[in-house]
Amino acid sequence: MKTKIKKIDFHKFPDKFGRFGKFGGRFVAETLMPLLLEVESEYKTARKSKNFRNQLDYYFKNYIGRPSPLYFAERLSKKLNNSKIYFKRDELNHTGAHKINNCIGQILLAKRMGKKRIVAETGAGQHGLATATVCALFDLECIVYMGATDIERQAPNVFKMKLLGADIKLVTSGTATLKDAMNEALRDWVSNVSDTFYVIGTVAGPHPYPMMVRDFQSVIGKETKRQIIKVEKRLPDLLLACIGGGSNALGLFYPFLNETKVKIIGVEAAGKGINTKKHAASLSKGKPGFLHGNFTYLLQDNDGQILDAHSISAGLDYPGIGPEHSWLKEMGRVKYFSSKDDEALEAFKLCCKLEGIIPALEPSHALAFLLKYKKHLTKNTVVVMNMCGRGDKDIFAISKNLGVKL
């Protein structure tokens, strides 16, 4: 007699302990535990509240500009075997990326909790910019921790954050990038527990943040499902997104996880190559460990020390990954690959020339993979790629890499 394999409902995770299988959880200093429990309790109450949902929908529509369009990339499609390539254009959101979706959600939660001081970490500056934006909107004090390396390569976003009233805290420890900024933001939160709310920008950190950020970002996938069915009368064959911490990817993927006929691919940053020491491909080359309050795949040495991550993209050079991605990898539901710096640059240039869209370096990694995936595409293949950010912020970094003086 054959054993019947139980079908997994991916929407029933995390469990009550914040775990996705063995990944996730809440591994933090004792002083942070009451705060996290308070955030979790308030979030569970808020998401059942009609008033909270109405507020969120109002700002999604009238402030962010949702729903974002699902755009048929006609010239790119012709180049890729006359397949049907669609961009989910979250780069058209207010502030130029998907990050604002989560920030609006978390700031409404912070207001419910009576918090007046907001801290955040940022790498590419898009999360910092989105946090500064919503703090200006709701008249809240905003402190953004940002690594010195990222401040240098993301000057436009730094200036925008200052215009919006944010206090930018320079981080010089480690590689002076996203991981180090997150460390400092967590330290700040521990030291200012009474009046401060920490707005984490990705699906990482201790529970409930991976779940909460995913839920706020899943508006991307919910819209995509409605839009693609309206246009194609069916679900896509393939979903594609770049992966740093993984919030834009899970935002697109999550509503489709139980649609087993839809193939899902995440693309990490291979930097100079995954067989060098200059990459950020934690799922491809890392192993499970603890970072920022959760158990997940990390770039680490044999002693468990976190290794430096590298990417041309300031938004992808994180040495870890959201715990749900680690679980989805081990479950085999999502496949993960990577694109190198030079491949992302070529994809960036191609997107500009073919579609008149200047993408951020982050989604350029996903597009670079799609170009390599060409042999698997046919005339009937429907692909949706998350165009999660626009390239304004990357102009100086890209011009430097292309040897162009501005």
pLDDT in tens, 257-269: 999 999 999 999 9
Q: Which of 284, 362, 350, 273 is nearest to 317 (CA)?
A: 362
Residue 252 lies inside a defined structural domain of this protein: yes
- Residue 13 belongs to some domain of the structure: no
Please determine, for residue 204, whether its predicted confidence score (pLDDT) is greater than 70. Answer: yes
Owning domain of residue 342: 66-96+215-401
- Which of 194, 213, 232 is the last residue before a domain boundary? 213
Please compute the mean of the pLDDT values over residues 279-297 and round it to a whole number: 96
Rounded-to-integer distance, Cα 147 and Cα 126, Å: 14
238 shares a domain with 133:
no
Q: Is residue 12 part of a domain?
A: no
The verdict on 343 and 282 lying in the same domain is yes
Residues 208 and 267 in one domain: no
Domain total for the chain? 2
| pLDDT for the residue 2 | 44
Same domain, yes or no, for 188 and 294?
Answer: no
Residue where a domain terminates, one of 197, 213, 229: 213
Of the chain, the percentage scoring pLDDT greater than 70 comes to 99
Are residues 79 and 209 located together in one domain of the fold?
Answer: no
- Structure confidence at residue 404 (pLDDT): 86
Residues 110 and 175 in one domain: yes
Overall average pLDDT of the 280-289 stretch: 96
Distance CA 192, CA 137 (A): 22
One domain, residues 302 and 373: yes
Do the Cβ atoms of 122 and 140 come closer than 8 Å?
no
- Inform me whether the pLDDT recorded for 187 exceeds 50: yes
The CATH number covering residue 47 comes to 3.40.50.1100
Per-residue pLDDT, averaged over 2-26, amounts to: 86
Residue 271 counted as domain residue: yes
* 23 within a domain of the structure (yes/no): no
Min mean pLDDT across 88-92, 329-333, 400-404 is at: 400-404
The residue whose two tokens read 């995390």 is 14
State whether 133 and 208 are in the same domain.
Answer: yes
Confidence of residue 6 (pLDDT cuts 50, 70, 90): low
Q: What whole-number percentage of the chain has pLDDT above 90? A: 86
Mean pLDDT, residues 374-391 = 97
**204 and 323 co-located in one domain:** no
On whether both 38 and 76 belong to a single domain, the answer is: no
pLDDT category of residue 325 using cuts at 50, 70 and 90: very high
Q: Tell me, what's the pLDDT at 43? A: 98
- 21 in a structural domain: no
Same domain, 357 and 337: yes
Mean of all residue pLDDT scores within the chain:
95
Residue 325 located in a structural domain: yes
For residues 86 and 192, state if they share a domain: no
Dmax of the chain from CA atoms? 71
Report yes or no on 11 lying in a domain.
no
Sign of the dihedral defined by the CA atoms of residues 389, 391, 393, 394, in that order: positive
Count other Cβ atoms within 10 Å, centred on residue 323. 31
Residue 249 has which token pair? 């990817």
